[in-house]
Amino acid sequence: DVKVTQSSRYLVKRTGEKVFLECVQDMDHENMFWYRQDPGLGLRLIYFSYDVKMKEKGDIPEGYSVSREKKERFSLILESASTNQTSMYLCASSWAGGANQPQHFGDGTRLSIL
């Protein structure tokens, strides 16, 4: 089974802090993704990466950056946390494949910015 592990289940930070969310997958997947999930808005894509050191903006990249130094690890960075970034953050990974492949998710990090 695919295992996507997010380093923290719950995290509380203060406004203005730099926040790092870490994600590791054990299936040698090429693609990795960061989403945020908010009530009534569903899942929205922040950034994704299709290879080491590669990144692409998703639908809502403002206020975030990412890092992919190793294939198995994808980090989401909140450069200067704000209260509107309080949310559930979900990491996912998938094969690149010839055709579309399903994304497999971690259990999420619930981040609160005070």
Please report, as ranges, the residues that interact with other proteins according to CB under 8 A.
Answer: 4, 31, 33, 40-43, 45, 48, 50, 56, 58-59, 90, 92, 99-100, 102-108
CB of 83 to other proteins, least distance (A): 23
CA-to-CA distance for 26 and 36, rounded, in angstroms? 22
- Of 18 and 53, nearer to other proteins (C-beta) is 53
List the one residue out of 60, 1, 2, 9 whose CA is nearest residue 31: 2
- Of 7 and 50, nearer to other proteins (C-beta) is 50
**Segments in the chain forming alpha helices (H):** none
- Collect all residues with Cβ–Cβ distance below 8 Å to 58 and sequence separation of at least 6: 33, 34, 35, 44, 45, 46, 47, 48
CB of 24 to other proteins, least distance (A): 14
**31 and 93 Cβ atoms separated by less than 8 Å:** yes
CB of 99 to other proteins, least distance (A): 7
CA-to-CA distance for 108 and 3, rounded, in angstroms? 13
- Of 18 and 96, nearer to other proteins (C-beta) is 96
- Of 54 and 114, nearer to other proteins (C-beta) is 54
CB of 30 to other proteins, least distance (A): 11
